[in-house]
Structure 1
């Protein structure tokens, strides 16, 4: 398990992190939505039941105020008129020894409920001398809310009967069920939407981390690739100098050139890494483009067989250090890859308003090679980051770098800068 974990790539680790973030966010959202939906359903059911019971209590109070006993007989005079066309049904039970006898059954606008289904609630209210709330099923199968209230007449010391009032709860329960379905459906939809949002947020946040890790890996790969050649050259030259003491002077000069190239590569890579990481900003200022190019040619074109420098006085606006990197890489490419038959390169450098052209008379571009890709350069069998870095530096100044094979032979690199 541990070995497999160590083999995970950066993309795998970010994907695993993204899945965990989505799972945690979804679980939290689901818990919160479920709790709120459950609370909403419970509160709504309780409120609906209390609303029905409020109507039942009003009716039961009116009926109880009209019940009395006369000559040993329970009288319900005026109860029928008091009920009228109420939406509640009224059932009165009288205690007769160990049994209950119905004294009144008026369903009102509700469906009739069989008396045997009401007797348990009536007995319970009489036995406990308290109100009893329950549900009952009418003859048509609909559910009704009922309230049973015990009563006692003046001459009796204990409850002598019970008033059971009912009301149709079908509409209330249907509305409650619709609300429950709405809350559940809405909760599911919200969780799905939140999960989608969590996926987008996790993907976007991990993409930033992935880009940073990718930049780090690219920097390490670029540095390793760019430094491999000069380090190899230094080692081979030093070993040759140890064997042949007569060529130590030339070997040392070659070592110095390789060290200079390595220093330039390190400075270029570090500058690019700082720009990408945001620790170094583009420093815009006015400078003489012709003088910058002339200085670069003087520093980097020593290995060329001939250099034709054709410049005009040009004032440009940008970051001189970044543009110097672009020009230096292009000149180095021309000197390194423009040689013919080992006799050195003939390089032409021209500077005009908003334009720098660097041309060699070598073999030109490799057919089909994407010149600005990393580790691709202008000569067969060679590799480097020169053109890629030059293109990045020019685009940073909203310019354009084009590299092509000249019809007369050689490669031509052209930098176009905005005026």
Structure 2
């Protein structure tokens, strides 16, 4: 009996290949998703930074526009205190340079969201030096990340210098970015899982036909070994080196020639079977005399003790395949009827039916329920021969059966449909 599919080396290699393809496709998908996730995170971060910069710059510009300088060069922050943008969700700080050159805070809103005085003083100097808005990433007084802008403000014919700070709410974008990152991570893991499942399913589906072809190949090799074993053994005996007279040499050559023809027919039949099962060929459909085909097959057994009774009958089928089926039935009868050497194998042909009876021990209980299944054997063969008979019968729309014979032994039958009138 052949090993189960999972235990065969070829199938095991295909399974390993399937897992390797799954891992490879999953790895490629993972790398691609990681790259896409990083790109998405970078683009989102830049987009958020741009939006934040525009928002705080708008607040700083608005606050700077609401600051006025009176005739005594004193800052007037009346409009700033009533300005909506200066009292909204954005932190605002207005610092001015005193006469002694130090910077003092003139107005503050949500001051805890902005850096301390020392850090703010350094940013003020940068803004004054640049004479333009300066954006910075920093931390507020509580150590939280904050984005801020410092915009300088000058007046003509005045030495008063003012810098307006505007900073984001440190709690505004942190949770949103965390939500985006977690969404990318969880979504990426789900996509990787889906990719792995799809790769495993698709690779298995694509290899299914390959496994079927491997099964057919192994069956072909097993059937070929089974069918060629007997003629090869006989050929070895016929051609064994020994002293022979010319008559024996001629007979040995004749037998060797016959065995070569027989092996050629066997190989041709097995190749035809393999081609038909793979869909590359169709069985031949010709009218033939089943009785004459049977008699020609029996002649190939030489001096074996075989009795043949035939009634002329016509069937439609493939001569090579039907001849192979009849030969297998007769060989099975000779093999299992060897316990009674004196009893002949009886072959009867009539009405599209070939019956082969042996006088052996009868059906073995081990195979009585399924004698034509591939791999089932009573112990004297591989069980392939009868499986071929069943396959050929089914291919021709017929049937194969085996039953106990009255008085001992078994009767194996090959039944073919009769052609239309």
TM-score, with length taken from structure 1: 0.79
Q: Does structure 1 residue 42 correspond to structure 2 residue 39? A: no
Aligned match for 2:297, one of 297, 300, 303: 300
**In structure 2, C-alpha distance between the alignment counterparts of 1:257 and 1:343, rounded to whole Å:** 26
Equivalence for 1:5: none
Aligned match for 1:101, one of 99, 104, 109: 104
Structure 1 range deviating more: 128-137 or 27-36:
128-137
Change (3 A) 1:377 1:12: closer
Equivalence for 1:91: 93
- Which whole-Å deviations, capped at 9, do the CAs of 1:270-294 have from their partners, x for residues lacking one? 11222234332356x5x55xx4422
Q: Does structure 1 residue 145 correspond to structure 2 residue 143? A: no
> Is the 1:114–1:139 Cα contact (8 Å) retained in structure 2?
yes
Task: Give aligned pairs, total.
Answer: 399
> Is the 1:142–1:168 Cα contact (8 Å) retained in structure 2?
no
Structure 1 range deviating more: 253-262 or 238-247:
238-247
Equivalence for 1:22: 22
> Is the 1:146–1:166 Cα contact (8 Å) retained in structure 2?
yes
Q: Does structure 1 residue 347 correspond to structure 2 residue 347? A: yes
CA shift, 1:418, in A, is 8.1
Secondary structure of the residue aligned to 2:172 is helix
- Which whole-Å deviations, capped at 9, do the CAs of 1:153-192 have from their partners, x for residues lacking one? 22247x8221111232423221121111111221122123
TM-score, with length taken from structure 2: 0.79
- Which whole-Å deviations, capped at 9, do the CAs of 1:97-133 have from their partners, x for residues lacking one? 55321011123xx965465264443333223323222
CA shift, 1:32, in A, is 1.0
Q: Does structure 1 residue 413 correspond to structure 2 residue 405? A: no
> Is the 1:335–1:347 Cα contact (8 Å) retained in structure 2?
no
The within-5 A match list for 1:316-331 is 322-331=321-330
> Is the 1:300–1:331 Cα contact (8 Å) retained in structure 2?
no
Q: What are structure 1's unaligned runs of at least 5 residues? A: 1-7
> Is the 2:22–2:196 Cα contact (8 Å) retained in structure 1?
yes
Equivalence for 1:403: 402
Higher normalized contact order (CA 8 Å, seq sep 6+, divided by chain length): 2
The within-5 A match list for 1:20-419 is 20-70=20-70, 71-83=72-84, 85-96=87-98, 97-107=100-110, 113=114, 115-116=116-117, 118-137=120-139, 143-156=145-158, 160-239=161-240, 242-243=243-244, 251=252, 254-282=255-283, 285=285, 288=287, 291-302=288-299, 303=304, 305-309=306-310, 322-334=321-333, 337-338=336-337, 340-351=340-351, 356-363=353-360, 364-369=362-367, 371-372=371-372, 381-382=380-381, 385-396=384-395, 400-406=399-405, 408-415=407-414
CA shift, 1:143, in A, is 4.5
- Which whole-Å deviations, capped at 9, do the CAs of 1:11-32 have from their partners, x for residues lacking one? 5654554444334322321221
Change (3 A) 1:143 1:345: same
Change (3 A) 1:268 1:20: same
Structure 1 range deviating more: 238-247 or 161-170:
238-247
Change (3 A) 1:346 1:86: same
**In structure 2, C-alpha distance between the alignment counterparts of 1:113 and 1:383, rounded to whole Å:** 89
Change (3 A) 1:336 1:53: same
CA shift, 1:196, in A, is 2.8
**In structure 1, C-alpha distance between the alignment counterparts of 2:306 and 2:238, rounded to whole Å:** 22
> Is the 1:334–1:358 Cα contact (8 Å) retained in structure 2?
no
- Which whole-Å deviations, capped at 9, do the CAs of 1:175-215 have from their partners, x for residues lacking one? 12111111122112212321232233334444544544454
> Is the 1:292–1:324 Cα contact (8 Å) retained in structure 2?
no
Q: What are structure 2's unaligned runs of at least 5 residues? A: 1-7
Change (3 A) 1:65 1:171: closer
> Is the 1:293–1:324 Cα contact (8 Å) retained in structure 2?
no
**In structure 2, C-alpha distance between the alignment counterparts of 1:240 and 1:112, rounded to whole Å:** 107
**In structure 1, C-alpha distance between the alignment counterparts of 2:152 and 2:23, rounded to whole Å:** 56
Structure 1 range deviating more: 323-332 or 37-46:
323-332
- Which whole-Å deviations, capped at 9, do the CAs of 1:250-284 have from their partners, x for residues lacking one? 6566445533432221112211222234332356x
CA shift, 1:240, in A, is 8.1
